[in-house]
Amino acid sequence: MKPFFITTPIYYANDEPHIGHAYTTVAADILARMERLRNREVIFSTGTDEHGAKIAEKAREAGQDPQLFVDAVAETFQGLWEKLNISLSENAFIRTTNKDHIKVVQKVLAELYQNGALYRGTYKGLYCVGCEQYKNEGDLVNGKCPDHDRVPEVMEEESYMLKMTELQSTLLEHVRSKKFHIYPSQYEKEVTSFLENQTLEDISLSRKNVTWGVPLPFDETHTTYVWADAFLNYLTVLGWSGEGKVPEAWPADIQLVGKDILRVHATIWPIMLLHLGVPLPKLLYTHGHILSAGKKMSKTLGNVISINEMLSAFGTDGTRYLLFTMGHFGDDIDITFGRLTEKYNADLANGLGNLVSRIMKLGESLPTLPIVTEAGGSRIWSEQQQPLQISKILEATMERVSSANRYMDETKPWILVKENKGKFEKVMDNLFSQLSQISLEIEPFMPDTAEKIKTALKTGKTEALFQRIQ
Ligand code: MSP
């Protein structure tokens, strides 16, 4: 059977990883773990996007050789994924400066050139180095790129152009029929209306003045546009040689992207694939942004919530949990450190942590531990079709925690243990199986906690799970 293939964007290696990168990557990890629990073989990839003007500029500012610069950044990303317990597949952290990746990029560009998809032309436009994209006048606010607050440069250069316009209706058809499914629907509507109302201009796929990039094999005075280089990671990570049949794991079952990079993933990427005769990904799962106190996080505003601070305060599982409960995955979510702390205390310290410790404490009075079998529990998502809705599933699971806590408050097993041994044992049986079910369902979200609960249920012993934060 075809492995289930799930990808995150590959992140720019121009700075330390931040909470937004963690958000997408943990989401992908949760989905990957769910698929494994549905007995699918899973390939789960992420990586770093290491070429282009922006990174060259950063390395220069740091007074470093670009390769050494990106080597160090890539390492920080990998370190963060370990701390967040990201279950990447083997060899599935892809770096675009990897030699094999570069070879494939060159082969693909040569193929596009040979089959006429790529042609030599000139391109004139307003280029924002922050976005590594040409901008339309309509994208600018007061003449500046609103995302980077910088005036784009006017660029006119000889360039190799990718034919976009001729495939626009084919692409629209794929989106409409959901063969190329963009999800959730608000993002699908956005793409459909864009494709219906605007002409996709042919785009420049090479750069003459950017040396930190992959040289075009048929014209070494040009390097490959960083986005074209980056998109191909989704195929090179599978070990594709760049010609002939693509590996059987392709098409990707889920490609996760933030809404900021939806447009490019819904236009340039599928059109490159159409030109190559390679099937389009099945699902482009798009999510909103994390805002801090209602605003985009920025160093100048001083409202950056650091992922490392979150990890120190809430631990790995606490952080994983909080990212998906502060709002619905898909929409923008707004957080503050104070609200994260409140939620942690309410749901994890007082909710789940307290439930486990109350049950295990009372369990000490049982003559023998109830036997809980895993086979009994099926998980909420086990029968559901893609796309799985992360926040809703987690909410339903946490509802079990509240209901088990309520059941305990109503049945008062701490009184039954003294007054009605028979009833006490029945109530404890129920609580043990509830907890077992909870441990099954939280597994993709909080894998370590799930494991600890399972061990507690088997041995009768547990450590405190989530300490209250003052
Ligand atoms: N290198 C390109 C992607 C190439 S993929 C072929 C890139 N890199 S990035 O470092 O800027 O990462 C962008 C992605 O990071 C977003 O699409 C999103 O997945 C994640 N996020 C970055 N900031 C975010 C928030 N504030 N909130 C949520 N996710 C965000 O674009």
Give pLDDT tens digits for 163-175: 999 999 999 999 9
**In angstroms, how far is CA 250 from the centroid of its own chain?**
18
Q: Is the pLDDT of residue 353 over 80?
A: yes
**Does 222 participate in catalysis according to the annotation?**
no
In this predicted structure, what is the pLDDT of residue 124? Answer: 85
110 falls in which pLDDT band (50, 70, 90)? very high
- Contact 283/387 with Cβ under 8 angstroms? yes
Helix (H) or strand (E) holding 181: strand 181-183
Check whether 437 has a pLDDT greater than 90: yes
Alpha carbon distance 308, 325 (integer Å) = 19
DSSP states of 252-287:
PSEEEEEGGGHHHHHTHHHHHHHHHTPPPPSEEEEE
Mean pLDDT of 248-268: 98
Q: Is the pLDDT of residue 375 over 80?
A: no
Does the beta carbon of 23 lie inside 6 Å of ligand 1?
yes
Q: CA 361 to CA 323: how far, in whole Å?
A: 30
Q: In which band, very low, low, confident or very high, does the pLDDT at 15 lie, cut at 50, 70 and 90?
A: very high
Question: What's the distance, Cα to Cα, between the start and end of the chain in Å?
Answer: 50
Give the number of other CB atoms < 10 A from CB of residue 397: 22
With residue 4 as reference, give the H or E element that holds it: strand 4-12
Beta-sheet pairing, 181-183 with 283-287? parallel
Q: Ligand 1, residues 10, 14, 23: which to mutate, most atoms within 8 A of Cβ?
A: 23
Q: Omega before 146 cis (within 30°)?
A: no
Comparing CA positions, the residue from 153, 118, 152, 82 lying closest to residue 311 is: 82
- pLDDT over threshold 90, residue 156: no
CB-based burial label for 46 (10 Å; 0-12, 13-18, 19+): buried
- Mean pLDDT, the chain, integer: 95
Distances (CA, A) of 42 to 69, 136, 247: 32, 39, 14
Instruction: List the residue whose alpha carbon is closest to atom 16 of ligand 1.
Output: 258
Is residue 377's pLDDT more than 70?
no
* CB-CB contact of 248 with 14 (8 Å): no
Which of 21, 284, 304 for mutating ligand 1's site (highest number of atoms within 8 Å of CB)?
21
Confidence of residue 376 (pLDDT cuts 50, 70, 90): low
Give the C-alpha separation, 277 to 252, whole Å.
15
Active-site pick, 128, 282, 287, 343: 128
DSSP secondary structure, 152-178, as one string: PEEEEEEEEEE--GGGHHHHHHHHHTT
pTM score, whole prediction: 0.95
pLDDT per residue over 321-337, tens digit each? Answer: 999 999 999 999 999 99
pLDDT digits (tens, 9 = 90+) for 261-315: 999 999 999 999 999 999 999 999 999 999 999 999 888 888 899 999 999 999 9
Nearest-CA residue for atom 19 of ligand 1: 258
Amino acid at 245: K
pLDDT at 38: 92
Segment 211-221 shows an average pLDDT of 97
Coil, strand or helix: which one is 464?
coil
For atom 7 of ligand 1, the residue with the nearest CA is 11
Instruction: Using the mean position of ligand 1's atoms as its centre, give its distance from the Cα of residue 255 in Å.
Output: 13
- Which pLDDT score, from 0 to 100, does residue 380 have? 85
> Could you tell me the pLDDT band of residue 148, with boundaries at 50, 70 and 90?
confident
String of DSSP letters for 400-443: HHHHHHHHHHHH-HHHHHHH-HHHHHHHHHHHHHHHHHHHHHHT
What's the confidence (pLDDT) of residue 378? 82
Provide the pLDDT confidence category of residue 132 given band limits of 50, 70 and 90: confident
Q: Which amino acid type is present at position 403?
A: S
Percent of the chain with pLDDT over 90: 86
In the chain, DSSP finds a helix count (H) and a strand count (E) of 17, 16
What are residue 93's DSSP bridge partners?
46
260 touches ligand 1 (CB under 6 Å): yes
